[in-house]
Amino acid sequence: MTGFALRRLLSLPPLLLAVSFGFFAMLRLGRGDPALDYLRLAQIPPTDAALALARLELGLDRPLLAQYGAWLAGLARGDLGTSWFTRRPVLEEIAEFLPATLQLAGTAMLVTLLLGLPLGFWAALRRDRWPDHATRLIAFLGVSLPNFWLAFLLVLLFAVTLGWLPAMGREGPASLILPALATATMSACVMLRLVRASVLGALGEPHLRFAAARGLPRRVLLARHVGLNALLPPLTAMGLHLGELIGGAMVVETVFGWPGLGRWALLAIGNRDYPVLQGFVLVLTLVFVLGNLLVDLAYAWLDPRLRLEHAA
Amino acid sequence: MLRRSLLRGLPGLGALPGLRAGRAAAAPAPAMGPLRFSWPTNAGPLHPHLYAPNQMYAQAMLYEPLVRYVEGGGVAPALATAWRAEEGGRAYVFSLRPGVRFSDGTPFDAAAVVANLRALLENRARHAWLELVAQIAGVEALDAGTVRLALHGPYYPTLMELALIRPLRFASPAALRPDGTLAAPIGTGPWALAETRPGQHDLFRRREDYWGPRPALQAVQVKVLADANTRALALESGEIDLAYGTDQLDADSFRRFAGDRRFTTAISPPLATRLMAMNSARFPTDDLAVRQAIAQGIDRAALVRHVLLDTEPAAETLFAENFPYTRLGLRAPAHDRAAAAARLEQAGWHLPPGGRVRQKEGRELALDLCFVGSDALQKSLAEAVQGDLARLGIAARLRGEDSASYLGRQKSGEFGLIFTDSWGAPYDPHAFLGSMRQPAHADYQAQRGLPMKAEIDRRIGAVLVSTEEAARAEEYRWLLTTLHEQAVYFPISFLTNKLVYRAGLGTVPFGGTRYEIPFDQILPRG
């Protein structure tokens, strides 16, 4: 298991390098001139002299490979560059905005599990009865609703109409509820459907019929023989949800004025702030890969067959 | 009730009549707390001489000019109480207001002015876009309360450009480092920055030792809200008290608030012009008849009524008549589709049998209509214009692109029609006209094909250095009339600031320019 984890960790640097180069190339080879955007934001008319000065200041006057080399050299020193817009170190801004995003994504993940797991079990155990139909309808609606639209609906209901919760900002636990719900709804509904299908699959396994024939109580059957087996596919999905939740937070953070990494990145997209975007993608890749590594380790821990395979 | 409130608040559905407010929104703004406003980003480091990420509204709160712009093109005393031009406009002498201090206690005097202007001139290249910076030859303190600004030559808009929010305002010399950077944002204005929380808010507190009338508000909290719909909901749920700006709220939300008795709404006088430039150097708009037909064939009133929802007045001229030298009585041709079509026929543009796009000598009457793809308003306007042009037999290819590509087209002239704005007060008309000589501007590119372009540029140069009022007015008359007659612009509307606040807040006036929000003049009720 340790060897498996180490191998996965060792694969991280080349992966980050490949992602960073791919993203760097994608940004630089796209249409348009970021120096023009820089001047637009500064409300400076784009004269040739102003453009030349902006390119010099932003380092855009150098060849592409030299620009990437400089960024990489900075990265080796723990320097992700300086935001073209705020003129502040990217790493400092990441450290400032990441906790809010992790808080939001973490809470959303918790909501996903708290809603998706029990409702999925419930729906599967009452297959083709009203709880199954009701949860499937909810899941269908939840998966279909774009999160920004749901976010506006939640604000209208709970903040504007009822006045129970704040509409925006990050001040106290109450302000976390609506953004977390808006972020988690789609993942929770996907999780619900996955758990339902997984439980139904486990319920149809021959070993369960044999265990029942041996006279094991229903509680033990469900907890040990259905529950543990049915958890494996949703666990894999959790790794994917992690990226989805952080990605989804971009829009939700903007709607709720949540001071996180997503809104910061969205602003950077509008501003063509390349150093910020490169830093954001690097952090996102890191979180995604580490999250999936944790999921894989948990998977191996839950499923003895995997441990034995690795041991062999 | 709940369903009605939901429907009323949904973006795009808010204009439904008869829908009433939810009860949470009825809560009045707190009487003694800070005024809560919102802006898409934090205020920035607030250097008075620098640009992004410094937000102009916040720079205007902290830093003051020597003279202040007043609507209509005049200037009023600010940090200078009096001034006089010398050597035929080659120098200006300013008497500084006595008793003014920066918020750190440093006195505002001639040495502070000289330190700031010298720091600015050290960095002249950065401010090259502003003609006055290029014109300044030097600055000297005649005594502690008098400053002399020497210019390379006469430049009549000197006072106007001194009134700009940046870069010609003043930080405390104690905070201004020798390399021109700033240790802390310390100005002479009525507000001081008390707190910044990145991504969350900025807090400005009233200065108790301010030299002028103290603001009635004690503090202004500016929350960071990037999205206009979020801002509308925050206003409705009582989490902000005020929305103020050109595009803080979309037209639909503004109309909804206007119909809600709990809110006060207002629209400012014209501040700038929303335009489309027509490229006189590119086929087919290089044909004057085509440009004139377009000017006559687009239904401006419909654009204003249906797309802008009457939140901006229709514009018939390049500049509104509340700007200096612009009251010339010019009027746009009345919308007349038949007359526009006849003009095209007369110019040799005919519809082929069964065809929908006119042709002349085998070439189709088709052009690129360029806009920023992510700008929903420009997109709606472009689609409406495309429809009007199609009825004339002109094919408009919509080119919605990212902002850098759009700016690239403005710079290179790769457009038939392109959206643009004038710069607004106090830049209009002089600085906007001045920029028409720069090839990097859409205006230059649009005018490049005019037979009198060289004469236009020459007269723009002459008007900026003119010293006689009558001659200057005459030059402006010729320039604005020529551009009007040559139909290189299709003015759509005059940009305005839109104001929405809770009816219980008190009185909120408009500032003289687009980015100056007069927080210091807000009078809370009670």
What confidence score (pLDDT) does residue A135 get? 87
**CA proximity to A195, closest of A240, A105, A106, A135:** A135
Structure tokens at A24: 């760097």
Rounded (10°) CA dihedral B172, B173, B179, B182 = -20
Q: Which of A50, A85, A259 sits opposite B200 (nearest CB)?
A: A259
Q: CA-nearest residue of chain B to A160?
A: B237
According to DSSP, the residues that pair with B82 across neighbouring strands are: B95
Place of tokens 């809600």: B260
Residue B387 CA neighbour count, 13 Å, CB half: 9
Distances in Å between the Cα of B371 and the Cα atoms of B278, B294, B421 are 13, 17, 12
Q: Which of B42, B53, B408 sits opposite A36 (nearest CB)?
A: B408
Place of tokens 């037909």: B293
What confidence score (pLDDT) does residue B14 get? 37
Q: Do A47 and B236 touch (CB under 8 A)?
A: no
Q: Sorting pLDDT into bands at 50, 70 and 90, what band is B32? A: low
Pair B200, A264: CB distance under 8 Å? no
Residue pLDDT, tens place only, B145-176? 999 999 999 999 999 999 999 999 999 999 99
Compute the nearest-CA separation of B419 from chain A (Å): 15
ipTM exceeds 0.95, yes or no: no
Report how far residue B33's alpha carbon sits from residue B321's, in angstroms, rounded to the nearest whole number.
40
Q: Do B198 and A96 touch (CB under 8 A)?
A: yes
For chain B, the first-to-last Cα distance in angstroms comes to 33
Residue pLDDT, tens place only, B440-493? 788 999 999 999 999 999 999 999 988 888 999 999 999 999 999 999 999 999
Q: Is B502 helix (H, G, I), strand (E, B) or coil?
A: strand
What confidence score (pLDDT) does residue B526 get? 66
Pair B190, B207: CB distance under 8 Å? yes
Q: Architecture of domain B64-162 in CATH?
A: Alpha-Beta Complex (3.90)
Residue-range domain boundaries for chain B? 1-62+189-270+499-526, 64-162, 272-495
Give the Cβ contact number of residue A2 at 10 Å.
Answer: 7
Helix axes A130-144, A90-125, angle to 10 degrees: 160
Residue pLDDT, tens place only, A114-173? 998 889 888 888 888 888 888 888 888 888 888 888 999 999 899 888 989 998 888 888
Amino acid at B314: A
Structure tokens at B310: 């009457």
Report how far residue B391's alpha carbon sits from residue B439's, in angstroms, rounded to the nearest whole number.
33
Q: Is pLDDT at A241 greater than 80 in this prediction?
A: no
Task: Spell out the residues 6+ positions from residue A40 whose beta carbon is closer than 8 angstroms to its own.
Answer: A46, B403, B404, B407
Give the Cβ contact number of residue A173 at 10 Å.
Answer: 7
According to DSSP, the residues that pair with B371 across neighbouring strands are: B400
Backbone region of residue A165 per phi and psi (left: phi > 0; alpha: psi in -120 to 50; beta: other values): beta
Residue pLDDT, tens place only, A204-239? 888 878 888 888 887 878 877 787 777 777 787 787
Q: Do A44 and B51 touch (CB under 8 A)?
A: yes
- Chain B residues close to A167, C-beta within 8 Å: 230, 233-234, 237, 239
Which of the four CATH numbers 3.20.20.70, 3.10.20.740, 3.10.105.10, 3.40.50.11540 does domain B272-495 have? 3.10.105.10
Give the Cβ contact number of residue A309 at 10 Å.
Answer: 10
Structure tokens at B491: 């003015």
Report how far residue B84's alpha carbon sits from residue B88's, in angstroms, rounded to the nearest whole number.
10
Interface test with B, best of A31, A82, A156 (most B CBs within 10 A): A156
Least confident range of A40-44, A53-57, B314-318, B438-442:
A40-44
Give the Cβ contact number of residue B91 at 10 Å.
Answer: 18
Q: CA-nearest residue of chain A to B440?
A: A47
Q: Which of B11, B128, B403 sits opposite A50 (nearest CB)?
A: B128
Structure tokens at B471: 């001659």
Residue pLDDT, tens place only, B215-254? 999 999 999 998 888 899 999 988 999 999 998 898 999 9
Report how far residue B189's alpha carbon sits from residue B519's, in angstroms, rounded to the nearest whole number.
11
- Chain A residues close to B9, C-beta within 8 Å: 152, 156, 160-161
Q: Is pLDDT at B15 greater than 50 in this prediction?
A: no
Give the Cβ contact number of residue B58 at 10 Å.
Answer: 25
Across chain B, mean pLDDT equals 89
Task: Spell out the residues 6+ positions from residue A30 whose beta carbon is closer than 8 angstroms to its own.
Answer: none
Give the Cβ contact number of residue B277 at 10 Å.
Answer: 25
**CA proximity to B480, closest of B356, B370, B327, B349:** B327
Q: CA-nearest residue of chain A to B38?
A: A257
Place of tokens 């038939």: B416
Backbone phi, psi, residue B245, to 5°: 155, 180
Computed from CA positions of residues B99, B100, B103, B109, in that sequence, does the dihedral angle turn out positive or negative?
Answer: negative
Helix axes B403-412, A34-42, angle to 10 degrees: 90
CATH superfamily of domain region B1-62+189-270+499-526: Periplasmic binding protein-like II (3.40.190.10)
Q: Which of A43, A155, A159 sits opposite B51 (nearest CB)?
A: A43
Q: Does B7 touch chain A (CB under 8 A)?
A: no
What confidence score (pLDDT) does residue B9 get? 42
Pair B223, B240: CB distance under 8 Å? yes
| Percentage of chain A exceeding pLDDT 70 | 96
Task: Spell out the residues 6+ positions from residue B167 whose beta carbon is closer than 8 angstroms to its own.
Answer: B48, B49, B50, B51, B120, B127, B130, B133
Q: Which helix (DSSP H) or strand (DSSP E) does residue B349 occupy?
A: none
Q: Do A156 and B233 touch (CB under 8 A)?
A: yes
According to DSSP, the residues that pair with B96 across neighbouring strands are: B80
Q: Does B421 touch chain A (CB under 8 A)?
A: no
